[in-house]
Amino acid sequence: MNAPRTWPAGWYELVARHGLAALLVLGSTLLGCDSGERSALADDNQAASGTSSGPSAGGSTSAAGTGSSSGGNGPSTGAGSLAEKYADHFPIGAAVGSWHLDTLGDVLEQDFNHLTCENAMKIQDIHPAEATFAWDEADRIADFARQKGMKLTGHTLLWHRQAPAWMFEGVTAGDAASLETLKMRLKAHIAAMVERYADVVDNWDVVNEALSDTAGKIYRDGPEGSTWYELFGSQDYIYFAFQYAKDALEESSPGSSAGKLYYNDYTATLKADKILTLLSWLKDEKGMQIDGVGFQSHEQLSWPSAADLQKAIDKVSGAGYKVKISELDITVYNDYPAGSFVAAPAVELTPELEAKQAKRLADLFALYRANKQHVTSVTFWGVSDDQTWLDNEPVPGRNDYPLLYGDAHTPKAARAAIMDF
């Protein structure tokens, strides 16, 4: 069905995303493996491959079309509008690349009122050389959003992955002068991004995934793949990124930074305390009050529990921060049945499995709705199952079915389930 993509370097991230037990078992030995760049990552290739991984004619017999809200022939978008249904709750977003605009424009327009660039705004993609910006794809997505009256998440101004080598060139840990060069480059990057998209971006993932997966360690450091931490010798880079974003927003329009500065990470149910430590450090020691936390929410069918998710939301909102669900998808696999990684065999999406996923999403959305005073948006990491990073992580070439629409771009049972309230 999908074009094969490349096996990623980052084991620790897969483990953290796919199970607490696995995290505990594998521990820090594997965590040290993530020193490579993510330049060949699935979704990066996906962006580069454009239409090559579009829906196959007569391919998988996935549940596309079996959803109860399916509305007839062709690329049906189902009954009603998801975004309208949630108008009194929060915006409904989708992570997209150009491919989605070309093939799923009608679905986007009907069901979503918020977009995230899946890759197009990552530094490596949009700023491939110090003097070169590659604006085209992000501009296209931003223009689509402007035309349709949608807003964007700016994803992401700083991440240890998909960061280009030029950013760190000539910079040496402990060398104050070269560190100033790095700060200047980061500041220039953030200023250019904010200036170009300030009108359409209503929240920025200023920093992505800066917290450690290791028990007892707060910040992701060099051995866990953060060149930023390694060169700064501390988590100070996180503060600088927020400060530069805030300054750039205030410069574009005074007061406009309010409500827009987010920290984004995965497995928030495991990391809530570390997140609070980071937020307190930013606020109390650096004088940097940010606005909210993105819970990526790459979830499993039965993990994390609703109770744990509620606890994490309570902790973050109780400390005065908003929560957004920033990268939601529900894998149909469990590769950690007993704590360590065992690749589950590929399956087709049977009606039973589809129903289970629909129930899971219905439960999650009920929880999001119950927390609507804290939740600022809910964004799916993609639209249809034929285009998902999970086809290649953690098992390359294994089809997954984590989204609201099936391979033929017809709505799955999950869409009807989250509309049913």
The string of DSSP letters for 270-285 reads HHHHHHHHHHHIIIII
Q: Which amino acid is at 350?
A: T
- Nearest-approach distance from CB 52 to ligand GLA, in angstroms: 18
389 contributes a contact to ligand GLA by CB under 6 A:
yes
137 contributes a contact to ligand GLA by CB under 6 A:
no
CA angle 228, 232, 234 (to 5 degrees): 95
The dihedral region occupied by 399, where left means phi > 0, alpha psi between -120 and 50, and beta the remainder, is beta
Q: How far apart are CA 386 and CA 52, in angstroms?
A: 11
Q: Which residues pair with 262 in a beta bridge?
A: 205, 292
- The catalytic position among 13, 209, 354, 393 is 209
Q: How many residues bind ligand GLA (CB under 6 A)?
A: 7
Cα distances (angstroms) measured from residue 248 to each of 186, 191, 320, 408: 12, 5, 24, 42
Toward ligand GLA, which CB reaches closer, 298 or 412?
298
- Select the residue interacting with ligand GLA from 46, 296, 300, 377 (CB under 6 A): 296
43 contributes a contact to ligand GLA by CB under 6 A:
yes
- Nearest-approach distance from CB 208 to ligand GLA, in angstroms: 5
* Nearest residue (beta carbon) to ligand GLA: 389
62 contributes a contact to ligand GLA by CB under 6 A:
no
- Nearest-approach distance from CB 400 to ligand GLA, in angstroms: 12
Do the beta carbons of residue 220 and residue 226 sit within 8 Å? yes
354 belongs to the catalytic site? no
Toward ligand GLA, which CB reaches closer, 89 or 160?
160
Do the beta carbons of residue 65 and residue 408 sit within 8 Å? yes
- Nearest-approach distance from CB 209 to ligand GLA, in angstroms: 6
Contact letters (x/-) for ligand GLA, 67-106, by CB under 6 A? Answer: ----------------------------------------
Do the beta carbons of residue 207 and residue 281 sit within 8 Å? no
State which of positions 326-385 bind ligand GLA (CB under 6 A): 327
Contacts of 370 by beta carbon, 8 Å cutoff, 6+ apart: none
180 belongs to the catalytic site? no
Do the beta carbons of residue 259 and residue 291 sit within 8 Å? yes
Q: Which residues bind ligand GLA (CB under 6 A)?
A: 41, 43, 208, 266, 296, 327, 389
Task: Return the active site residues.
Answer: 209, 327
